Amino acid sequence: MDDVLYDWNTNHGAPERFNWAGARVEIQDETLRDGAQSVSVVAPRLDDKKALLHHAAALGVHSVALGFPAMGERATAHVVALAREIADARLPLAATCAARTLPSDVQAIAEASQESGLPIEVATFIGASRIRQVVEGWALDDMCRRVEASVATAVRAGHDVMFVTEDTTRAHPDDLYALYGAALRAGARRVCIADTVGCATPDGVRRLVGRLVSWSRGVVGAGVRIDWHGHRDRGLGLANCLAAIEAGADRVHATALGLGERVGNVEMELLLVNLAMLGAHRHPIDCLSEYSRLASRAFDVPIPANHPVIGADAFATAAGTHAAAIRKAGVLRDRLYTAFPPALIGREQEVRISPASGASNVRWWLEERGYVADAADAGLVAYLLMAAKASDRTLAADEIEVLRSEYLSSSARRDARTVPPSARA
């Protein structure tokens, strides 16, 4: 394929700034925790949550946020059931749960872990920006003591701990160093940088992540793992996530369909496709469309037709010039007008018939449905194309089937009228 597709992304003739093929970044699925906090979703059924776990494992996701047990009895019951599903089905997934810097929140996770028999990472969090400190009346020294106590409680209970600073991208460096330092002294070995309000830019992400990577290594050596949790309020979620990986993040978070607070998180479907194309995700993702459709049904969130990668129109064209070229492309047809082969995510190239179409669109449509002889019928092709040109939108499949049947029926009647009586049955 390299002889017909030149890839400027590989930076030909210049030293690579970042070796994506050598990246070993992990992915955490936050759909069942942050995704469920969207104000426009319905609470998914437990069976759908379990199904999403299986799909996440099939996609090569490394860990899953199971929820926030301190929210109540139902949340706790679901966390326990999901943890048991991972254990019983032996899914290759690590599990994490959210907790405020409160002993009761940590205890809720510890009990869920004991009841399910699955180790659960404690993701304890606190707001780090000074605007939050002003609003809450918090003093930094008191915050550090809370962080240290919370992390120590989880560590004593035998849990791995990820310490999360909310609103990291608007927090002062000195405050971050103090909070992260308190968590690391208490035994946390993973810290999470959160762009909670989606205000960061890729350059800002690189500076922030790079600075904290260098700082953490200077404090405790190479043992600290760094997560990136980004939102997409400015539409930069995916770009920021890739920038975080380039800067040294070990694990990044995403949700199905980008669900989450306000306009949501990094879209899992977009992240996986881009990492796969860059060579950084080396696991099959052909069930990605199914995973996304399941999330759509479970959370009652429709997928826009023009959604990248998984929308209904993602691999469809109705343009006559495009269809004509695709019909000529042969084995290259799935790369001619697509950024990546549709089969990568379990999809196929699709040609539709609209006012912008030509005869090639009609012939493709007929041939793809096994109507090879019909595709060679110039009259039928002209008939369907005339109907498309008279329409104000793309024709639906059932509309085309009706038009085809009408033409064939009228054609058959005309043929019958021309057959000599002596030749009729």
Residues 220, 213: contact at Cβ < 8 Å?
no
Q: Give the number of other Cβ atoms within 10 Å of residue 78's Cβ.
A: 23
* Per-residue pLDDT tens over the stretch 230-245: 999 999 999 999 999 9
Tokens 């029926």 appear where? 409
Residue 416: pLDDT band (50, 70, 90) is very low
Cα–Cα distances in Å, from 2 out to 14, 196, 276, 337, 363? Answer: 18, 40, 17, 16, 30
Residue 29: pLDDT band (50, 70, 90) is very high
Residues 278, 21: contact at Cβ < 8 Å?
yes
d(CA 183, CA 162): 9
d(CA 34, CA 224): 24
pTM of the model: 0.92
Amino acid identity, position 127 = G
pLDDT of residue 423: 38
Question: Is the pLDDT confidence value at 197 over 50?
Answer: yes
- Please report the domains of the chain, with CATH numbers, ordered by start residue: 18-299 (3.20.20.70), 316-415 (no CATH)
d(CA 364, CA 386): 16
Residue 6: pLDDT band (50, 70, 90) is confident
Cα–Cα distances in Å, from 107 out to 153, 158, 160, 393? Answer: 8, 12, 14, 58
Residue 375: phi and psi, rounded to 5, are -65, -25
Residue 15: pLDDT band (50, 70, 90) is low
Residues 313, 319: contact at Cβ < 8 Å?
no
Question: Is the pLDDT confidence value at 419 over 80?
Answer: no
